[in-house]
A and B are shown apart, each in its own frame.
Chain A
Amino acid sequence: MSEVNSTFIAQESRKGEGRGSRPSAAFRARQDKAARRAFLVVTILPILLILVVAAALFARAWPILSAYGLPSLLFGKVWKPNNGQFGFLPFILGTVWVTLVGALLSVPACLLAAVYLAEYAHSRTRAMTKPILDVLAAIPPVVYGAWGLIAIVPFVDEVLAPLCDRWLGFIPLFAVNQPTGFGILAGGIVLAVMVAPLIISVAFEVFSTVPNDLRHASLAVGATQWQTIRNIVLPQAKPGIIAAIVLAASRAFGETVAVLMVVGNVPNIPTSIFDSAYPLPALIANNYGEMMSIPLYDAALLSAALVLLAVILIFNILSTLVLQRVLRRK
């Protein structure tokens, strides 16, 4: 290798002759080192950035954290900043509800789609689907939000709510307490559509890591393709699939604009999927910069941001770790 290198350098230097003085070897070595350091710094920067953001949020949230304590903020049910009541629970539950409804609507369909793509579809279908999923994932959230406003909210209001009210209204979960269409279900539907491309493509990747030898071993004893998928592929893919769902949940958890446009934004503790909710990201986006004269208001919003950051970081790190292990098998 070193021989090859030196001949290469020799050729280079011959080429360089006549173009004035060539930088010395020592200079070039120093240049190389400097470049390497520069790249290292640029690479580390994003990691530092997370820490800087977290530290800044923490510093600004500290006044309220020290005054109230984290538990009383997290579990406080009342949000009345004017009275000095800063309970995050309605917002946290709002986020959880919208995320759960979104996941329940999205996950089953997405898994079936991923199974179809990985196990049944012709490679041409697969090749066509990939770019479509990428485009779907790239649509700006505000567009999904607008679509939610003009299509989903009326759909919930005019179709789903009356139907549920009539047939399932006796179950509190499906009771229609405020018939506007804005609420958790609308938010969940919009989220379900938004995270679908992510779940489908990650789940597809996970399914493709299951070795073909295993599929063949199952088919060879006369199992059908579906039996093979159910008995072999799905159990093998389970950890990766769970990670994919957690990853999608963290995306849904932090989704702001699209949800904010359709959930109603009323800080209640929801009891039905037709209730309005006020997710944590929406709280921050709607209110930061306004009514800042209220004492501790700013600190309260930033500690909400800190909570959001922590939850999403944890979800993301866990799912990424699992997915890395799973996908490395490939």
Chain B
Amino acid sequence: METHIQVKNLNAYYGRQQVLRNINVEIPRKQITVIMGPSGCGKTTLLKTFNRFFELNEEARLTGEVLVDGQNIYGRDVDVTEVRKCVGLLAQRPSPLPMSIYDNVVYGMHIHKMKKDRKEYKAAVRHYLEIAGLWEEVQNRLHDPAASLSIGQQQRLCLARGLAVEPEIILGDEPTSALDPISSQNIESRLLELKRQYTTVIVTHTLRQAKRLADSVIYMYMGEVVEAGPAKEVFGNPQHERTKQYLEGLF
């Protein structure tokens, strides 16, 4: 197992409140790592430190390091837009941009001027919509507003939009929590397919989803990592009392 993201001595605060306490975890490359724990345990905050969304809150402050491929993304010379290009985020609620389906997928590619001409953009749009499993449904209505899609389709569109800037890491902040069961399943199977090419980190509050997706698990409680490791070990033989209780559904 090769480490892709390494978190070192990470402490995070919103104002005076400490939300992450001395986090040290490693996230393996090209696997799905699931962060779980009761609400308010800091799992979303930890996820947001990986694409530097944490700092969008003006009260936010952190110490420690998050290394992606050995480079500290909080380092002084790091371009935050490069970090975010490399680390895609699938949000909790689908957030299609107020433009057409086509323009949504092209959005990030335009920002980074990734293709030469219209033809290349067109091909790329098709490619990423196919990967997101949406092409069949939208190929005849690419220029309809994205808002006209169902919410499940919107989430897949957001996936395509994120993948289009060629990230290496996909973050999912409870990406199926707003979706119906069938759409959720659809997203889950996309993620399982994609893990061969992308390092994936998912925050979830549903244990069953964690069990379906996880190769590796981070269990958090009150801002600390209680237990982390391969899914088999954590689910099959949890070392800590808290993890056991959580897995048994005691809280």
Q: Footprint of B on A, CB under 8 Å?
A: 122-123, 211, 213-214, 216-224, 227, 231-232, 235-236
Does B88 lie at the interface of the complex (its beta carbon under 8 Å from any beta carbon of A)? Answer: yes
Known: A213-B95, A214-B97, A216-B95. A223 touches B53 (CB 8 A): no
Inter-chain pairs besides A217-B97, A222-B165, A223-B108, 10 sampled, C-beta below 8 Å: A216-B56, A217-B91, A221-B108, A221-B165, A222-B85, A222-B108, A222-B112, A224-B81, A231-B111, A236-B98
Residues of B within 8 A of A222 (CB): 81-86, 108, 111-112, 165
Does B158 lie at the interface of the complex (its beta carbon under 8 Å from any beta carbon of A)? Answer: yes
Known: A221-B88, A221-B107, A221-B108. A216 touches B161 (CB 8 A): no
| Inter-subunit contact B98/A219 (CB<8 Å) | no
Residue picked from A122, A222, A232, most chain B C-beta under 10 Å: A222
Cα A235 to Cα B97 with chains together (Å): 11
The one of B53, B93, B107 that contacts A231, using a Cβ cutoff of 8 Å: B107
The one of B53, B86, B98, B112 that contacts A216, using a Cβ cutoff of 8 Å: B53
Does B51 lie at the interface of the complex (its beta carbon under 8 Å from any beta carbon of A)? Answer: yes
Residues of A within 8 A of B97 (CB): 214, 217-218, 232
What is the CB-to-nearest-CB distance from A216 to chain B, in angstroms, rounded to a whole number? 7
Known: A213-B91, A213-B95, A214-B97. A221 touches B85 (CB 8 A): yes
Which 6 A-B pairs have CB atoms at the shortest separation, nearest pair first? A221-B108, A222-B85, A213-B95, A217-B95, A222-B84, A220-B89
| Inter-subunit contact A221/B162 (CB<8 Å) | yes
Cα A236 to Cα B95 with chains together (Å): 14
Known: A213-B95, A227-B111, A231-B107. A220 touches B51 (CB 8 A): yes
Give 12 pairs: A residue, B residue, CB < 8 Å, sorted on A: A213-B95, A216-B53, A216-B89, A216-B95, A219-B84, A220-B51, A221-B161, A221-B162, A221-B164, A221-B165, A222-B112, A223-B108
Does B58 lie at the interface of the complex (its beta carbon under 8 Å from any beta carbon of A)? Answer: yes
| Inter-subunit contact A216/B91 (CB<8 Å) | yes
Residues of A within 8 A of B81 (CB): 222-224
| Inter-subunit contact A122/B58 (CB<8 Å) | yes
List which B98-127 residues lie within 8 A (CB) of chain A.
98, 107-108, 111-112
| Inter-subunit contact B91/A220 (CB<8 Å) | yes
Smallest CB-CB separation from A227: which chain B residue? B111
Cα A236 to Cα B56 with chains together (Å): 21
Residues of A within 8 A of B112 (CB): 222
Residues of B within 8 A of A217 (CB): 91, 95-97, 158, 161
Cα A224 to Cα B84 with chains together (Å): 10
Residues of B within 8 A of A218 (CB): 97, 107
The one of A216, A220, A223, A227 that contacts B88, using a Cβ cutoff of 8 Å: A220
Cα A220 to Cα B53 with chains together (Å): 8
Cα A217 to Cα B81 with chains together (Å): 13
Cα A46 to Cα B85 with chains together (Å): 56
Smallest CB-CB separation from B86: which chain A residue? A222
List which B146-189 residues lie within 8 A (CB) of chain A.
158, 161-162, 164-165
Residues of B within 8 A of A211 (CB): 95
Smallest CB-CB separation from B90: which chain A residue? A220
Interface 1/0s, chain B 34-54, versus A by CB < 8 A?
A: 000000000000000001010
What is the CB-to-nearest-CB distance from B171 to chain A, in angstroms, rounded to a whole number? 9
Smallest CB-CB separation from B165: which chain A residue? A221
Residues of B within 8 A of A221 (CB): 84-85, 88, 107-108, 111, 161-162, 164-165
List which B68-97 residues lie within 8 A (CB) of chain A.
81-86, 88-89, 91, 93, 95-97
Cα A224 to Cα B110 with chains together (Å): 12
Residues of B within 8 A of A214 (CB): 95, 97-98
Cα A217 to Cα B93 with chains together (Å): 10
